[in-house]
Amino acid sequence: MTEDFAQTNEKLAVEIIGMHKWYGEFHVLKNINLEVRRGERIVVCGPSGSGKSTMIRCINRLEEHQRGKIIVDGIELTNDIKNIDQIRREVGMCFQHFNLFPHLTVLENCCLAPIWVRKMPRKEAEEVAMKYLERVKIPDQASKYPGQLSGGQQQRVAIARSLCMNPRIMLFDEPTSALDPEMIKEVLDVMVELAESGMTMLCVTHEMGFAKTVADSVIFMDGGEIIESNKPEEFFSNPQHERTQLFLSQILQH
Amino acid sequence: MAVIQHSPHEDLPPPVSQTGIIGWLRQNLFSNWLNSLLTLLAIFILWKTVVPLVEWAFIKADWVGTSRDDCDSGGACWVFVSVRFKQFMYGLYPEAEQWRINLMAIMFVLLMIPMFIKSFPWKKWLGMFILFGFPIVGFYLLSGGAFGLEHVETSLWGGLTLTLVLSAVGIVAALPLGILLALGRRSEMPIVRALSVAFIELWRGVPLITVLFMASVMLPLFLPEGTQFDKLLRALIGIVMFQSAYMAEVVRGGLQAIPKGQYEAAEALGLSYWKSMGLIILPQALKLVIPGIVNTFIALFKDTTLVLIIGLFDLLAMIQSATQDTKWLGFSIEGYVFAAVTFWIFCFGMSRYSQALERKLHTGH
Amino acid sequence: MPMDNQDDMPSRPPFWNDPDKRALIFQVLVLAAVFAFFAYIFSNTLHNLEKRGISTGFDFLNNEAGFGILMSLIPYDETYTFGRTFLVGLLNTILVSFLGIILATIIGFIIGIARLSNNWLVAKIAAVYIETFRNIPLLLQILFWYFAMLPLLPHPRQSVNFGDAFFLNSRGFYMPAPVFESPFLWVLAAMIIAIIAVVVLVRWAHKRQAQTGQQFHTIWVSLAILVVLPLIAYIATGMPLSWNLPELKGFNFRGGMTIIPELAALLLALSIYTAAFIAEIVRSGIQAVSHGQTEAAYSLGLRPGKTLQLVVIPQAMRVIIPQLTSQYLNLTKNSSLAAAVGYPDLVAVFAGTTLNQTGQAVEIIFMTMMVYLTISLLISLFMNWYNKKMALVER
């Protein structure tokens, strides 16, 4: 299987073809088609309820899709547990509310998955964890508990925790929406550094500054569909669809 | 690379296997082999227990009649219940006076109805009257001896009436006592705090039955020789002491939940301790813990059955003694099922009410 | 030069307006009132007891009891003392509470987890169980089992029997009683060795995982050790365990061990009732762990089983255990309802029969209450210790 991936889907990290999703009767995602190449950084924006979070949560099977195909790293996402496990190892995710494990220290949070999923020895896991904690600039908090950290620090720990699994793709679900304004920058800096190191990133966010700096393309979603997708310069200066124009006028006001 | 949708995609219906009856069955009952197995097992268990139960209790049961000869079908003999129904409801209260109990019940229902109407303006006064005025009215109605009503001794009170009297008096008396204890426990005066803690932990640490034994056996010893002590009153005192300790903890939870700022604001306004408690803190705290108070009431309602052991005849005791009646031997199951259903209706109803209250108050506070 | 001036200190108001003094006076008054109250009761009680010819003091504990007790874990007959009846009752209370706690926990956890199942039927059945048994008074459930259900069991002569060794009838549940010969000590020794071996194994497995990352099937191997080692000792010493089988002699069974119907009814009712409350505690404890925790664990690649073990259950237990110990305390206190069906627990035997025989209500009820208070206190202390230890560290 991995040989296939190396040859055919080398370039495509994520491929979504004709994907539909329903919550009961409600058609929440309609005909999603998306290609994400390796090393590409994509920002997804749109009004609330547009389905953008739901879409990226389908990529690591936190949500199930009912029609269409999702192929991550050459592996198709189905009900097959083996596929799901493999995909989750390669895809990291950061949540709006951090979701750190409060009963474990920062270091233990980061080591948990490498020890139990990748079966690393503890020493090795701790070295990897410290390496990433240094990369997000909080190595000194390693023995603290999440309850003792600020929001910005917790989110950076969350990013480090995902990175400890050496994922090839990182998903971000509104990572700065729950932070106080003075802490947003420290998290965005980490994300920018991550992008510049070549990580494939799919990011749902309202931070348009981040999009302009780092994104290769910006996608606008509304009502469960992808309305417009373009390079940031074109997207912001020349939105084509009227709904995109409306949305941009609302958020770029301030 | 720009992708533009010109017209919005229409809403499609979801695939058939996902919704409707089939979808629901798949997701909820048969989503994997383990669940399918469990579903089949559950259906089997239900078939073996619920079906015979319904057959016994409803389909083959005897509902009408006057004596045990009318119970010949092999199903439940509800004749037993209907014949003894009055006793279960009123105990040994003289038949001629039972209208007084009925009157009390009707009055209570009429008084409670406005409490559920949203726009009723005098809820506070009505609530106060129900809590403190009505019990006095009820007492005179039930025991008589005044206003031309014949005196009915408390030893004749029984059945569901007694259960309700015990529960209602228990809660109504335990509430003010519990509030005082909760305030005492939070007091800064060490003696007051120590005494409150001792009182609360004492009653919470012992079983209710020892309290009832204590009340019924030891109270006559505590008082000067010759004082007559009504048995019901003894049990009530025990119950009130016991409940006030639990009530104190519930109220204490409410007091703790009030932010410190409220206490400080009251102080800053120059209100004395009692004024700030009465006007500002307690109204908020009590509103917060109404669900807790209702839960305490439910527990008390179930606990009143213990008076059976000290010789008072509440609903359970009446049913228990009825099952020992030689004329109706062998129908104990019917008696207990009736008792269980009665208690269940009250307790379940109250707990649903408490949950609804909790939801309503949660959004408000 | 610096002077020690009183003028810098705020002046004290006259003592009748001074809040500290008022508080002091108030407390003194309260204390005096309490003392006066107790003194009044005390003198009345002494007077009344004298009038009725009831003695005081604890000497009665050495007097001969003169009555039999239905069931006792220690040797007892009428010639033993009242003090002995206290012990017999206490042990019976401990027995039914201990067994009840175990049963209620098992049933409660199963129902609680079933309540959370994504199988609609299973979840609904669990919900019905909880709502039914929580809302029916415990005393009613006890009476139901004892007076309505157990008499449906057959007469000893027509007992339901399992393999001629277990008999179920209206007089009780009869089982073989184990008879241990002296070589059984080796089996006991083997059990102890097995336990030590398992502890060592767990430590070794942890170390190995820390060093090499490899996981070990600790649970299966431990179980195997705990079973196999004592088994080998048992066989090697010639199977030093025989059974005293219950036999039907006339109208009754003799020999073996019995669970009397009183104990069975009490145990059933206590377990089923308390299990309903435990199920709710387990359900709300697990639901209290936010869904985001499970999602984070899944997105890191952890399987549902490991997520439960490492993330959900540790957090749920923090919430569950304090409430669980509260229920255990309730069960122990509720066991006092034994008097209603004649099971000889502490209250029934001591605060019941002994009190009737001696009339020394004050001493007896005092002793009984002290027992329960001590149990409550111990459990409270444990809960406080546990809460402190497990509190999540926050700013």
Nearest-Cα distance to chain A for C271, in Å, is 32
Report which of B239, A248, B355 is spatially closest to residue C280, judged by C-alpha positions: B355
Is B64 near chain A, with CB under 8 Å? no
pLDDT at A167: 94
Is A120 near chain C, with CB under 8 Å? yes
Q: Which of residues 99-138 of C touch B (CB under 8 A)?
A: 117-122, 125, 131-132, 134-138
**A24 interaction partners in chain B (CB closer than 8 Å):** 14, 19
Is A135 near chain C, with CB under 8 Å? no
**A100 interaction partners in chain C (CB closer than 8 Å):** 296
Mean pLDDT across chain B: 85
Nearest-Cα distance to chain A for B8, in Å, is 8
pLDDT at A7: 40
**Residue A12, Cα to own-chain centre: how many angstroms?**
16
How many Å is the Cα radius of gyration of chain B?
A: 27
pLDDT at C348: 92
User: With contact defined as beta carbons under 8 Å apart, do A106 and A146 qualify?
Assistant: yes
Amino acid letter, residue A230: N
Report which of C362, C354, C296, C286 is spatially closest to residue C49, judged by C-alpha positions: C362
Is the confidence at residue C226, as pLDDT, over 70? yes
pLDDT at A1: 37
Interchain CB contacts (distance < 8 Å): A and C? 90
Is B3 near chain A, with CB under 8 Å? yes
Please report all neighbours of A, defined by 3+ CB atom pairs within 8 A.
Answer: B, C
B272 pLDDT tier (thresholds 50, 70, 90): confident
Q: How many helices (H) and strands (E) does chain A have?
A: 10, 10
Cβ of C134 within 8 Å of Cβ of B320? The answer is: no
Distance (Å) of CA C51 to CA A226, B218, B234, C44: 95, 15, 21, 10
B286 pLDDT tier (thresholds 50, 70, 90): confident
Query: Considering CB atoms only, which of B2, B4, B11 is closest to A27?
Result: B11
Interchain CB contacts (distance < 8 Å): A and B? 48
Q: Which residues fall within 8 angstroms of residue A135, CB to CB, at 6 or more apart?
A: A160, A163, A190, A193
Nearest-Cα distance to chain B for C124, in Å, is 10
Is the confidence at residue B38, as pLDDT, over 80? yes
User: With contact defined as beta carbons under 8 Å apart, do C344 and C94 qualify?
Assistant: no
**C310 interaction partners in chain A (CB closer than 8 Å):** 112, 116
pLDDT at A69: 93
Query: Considering CB atoms only, which of A88, A117, A147 is closest to C392?
Result: A147
Q: How far apart are the first and last CA of chain B?
A: 51
Structure tokens at B98: 């039972």
Residue with tokens 């020999």: C255
What torsion, rounded to 10 degrees, do the Cα atoms C208, C213, C218, C219 define? Answer: 160
Cβ of B195 within 8 Å of Cβ of C30? The answer is: yes
Q: What is the mean pLDDT of residues C325-351?
A: 92
Question: In terms of pLDDT, which residue wins out, C5 or A1?
Answer: C5
**B29 interaction partners in chain C (CB closer than 8 Å):** 119-121
pLDDT at B1: 56
Top-ranked range on mean pLDDT: pick from B144-148, B262-266, C6-10: B262-266
Structure tokens at B209: 């039955």
Report which of B166, B187, B182 is spatially closest to residue B304, judged by C-alpha positions: B166
**Residue C12, Cα to own-chain centre: how many angstroms?**
56
Structure tokens at B199: 């009182």
Sign of CA pseudo-dihedral B149, B152, B153, B157 = negative
Nearest-Cα distance to chain C for A97, in Å, is 8
Is A148 near chain C, with CB under 8 Å? yes
pLDDT tens-place string over residues C28-46? 999 999 999 998 888 888 8
Cβ of B14 within 8 Å of Cβ of A24? The answer is: yes
pLDDT at C5: 56
Which residue of C lies nearest to B41 if distances are taken between CA atoms? Answer: C122
pLDDT tens-place string over residues C74-118? 888 888 888 888 999 999 999 999 999 999 999 999 999 999 988
Nearest-Cα distance to chain A for B44, in Å, is 30
Q: How far apart are the first and last CA of chain A?
A: 49
Is the confidence at residue A123, as pLDDT, over 80? yes
Structure tokens at A89: 């190892």
Is the confidence at residue C314, as pLDDT, over 70? yes
Cβ of A85 within 8 Å of Cβ of C310? The answer is: no
The mean-pLDDT minimum among B82-91, B202-211, B323-332, B341-350 falls in: B323-332
Alpha-carbon span B132 to B138, nearest angstrom: 11
**A103 interaction partners in chain C (CB closer than 8 Å):** 314-315, 318, 392
How many other C-beta atoms are found inside a 10 Å radius of the C-beta of residue C15? 11
Cβ of A67 within 8 Å of Cβ of B3? The answer is: no
Cβ of A88 within 8 Å of Cβ of C310? The answer is: no
Superfamily of domain C56-151+262-269+281-349+358-395 in CATH is MetI-like (1.10.3720.10)
Structure tokens at C333: 């206190």
B365 pLDDT tier (thresholds 50, 70, 90): very low
Please report all neighbours of B, defined by 3+ CB atom pairs within 8 A.
Answer: A, C
pLDDT at C357: 87
Structure tokens at C8: 């810098």
Cβ of B222 within 8 Å of Cβ of C368? The answer is: no
pLDDT tens-place string over residues A8-44? 446 789 999 999 999 888 899 999 999 999 999 999 9
Structure tokens at B124: 């506070």
**Residue B257, Cα to own-chain centre: how many angstroms?**
25
**C23 interaction partners in chain B (CB closer than 8 Å):** 188-189
Amino acid letter, residue C307: T
pLDDT at A10: 61
Cβ of C144 within 8 Å of Cβ of B336? The answer is: yes
Cβ of B316 within 8 Å of Cβ of C139? The answer is: yes
Alpha-carbon span B323 to B319, nearest angstrom: 6
Alpha-carbon span C160 to C258, nearest angstrom: 15
Distance (Å) of CA C94 to CA A192, B204, B208, C155, C273: 65, 19, 18, 30, 18
pLDDT tens-place string over residues B8-31? 778 888 777 666 777 778 777 777
Amino acid letter, residue C6: Q
B291 pLDDT tier (thresholds 50, 70, 90): confident
Structure tokens at C32: 């005096």
Cβ of A231 within 8 Å of Cβ of B11? The answer is: no
Amino acid letter, residue B72: D
Alpha-carbon span A23 to C59, nearest angstrom: 76
Report which of A221, A237, A192, A252 is spatially closest to residue A49, judged by C-alpha positions: A221
Cβ of C310 within 8 Å of Cβ of A147? The answer is: no
pLDDT tens-place string over residues B52-81? 888 888 888 877 777 777 777 777 888 888
Is C372 near chain B, with CB under 8 Å? yes
Structure tokens at B200: 């609360």
How many other C-beta atoms are found inside a 10 Å radius of the C-beta of residue B307? 27
Cβ of B309 within 8 Å of Cβ of C339? The answer is: yes
pLDDT at B251: 93
Is the confidence at residue A195, as pLDDT, over 80? yes
Alpha-carbon span C120 to C108, nearest angstrom: 19
pLDDT tens-place string over residues A159-170? 999 999 999 999
Q: What is the mean pLDDT of residues A202-215?
A: 90
Is B73 near chain A, with CB under 8 Å? no
Question: In terms of pLDDT, which residue wins out, C102 or B108?
Answer: C102
Nearest-Cα distance to chain C for A122, in Å, is 4
Please report all neighbours of C, defined by 3+ CB atom pairs within 8 A.
Answer: A, B
Counting every residue, how long is chain B? 365
Top-ranked range on mean pLDDT: pick from A74-78, B242-246, C357-361: B242-246
- Helical (H) or strand (E) element with C318: helix C313-334
- Helical (H) or strand (E) element with A21: strand A12-23
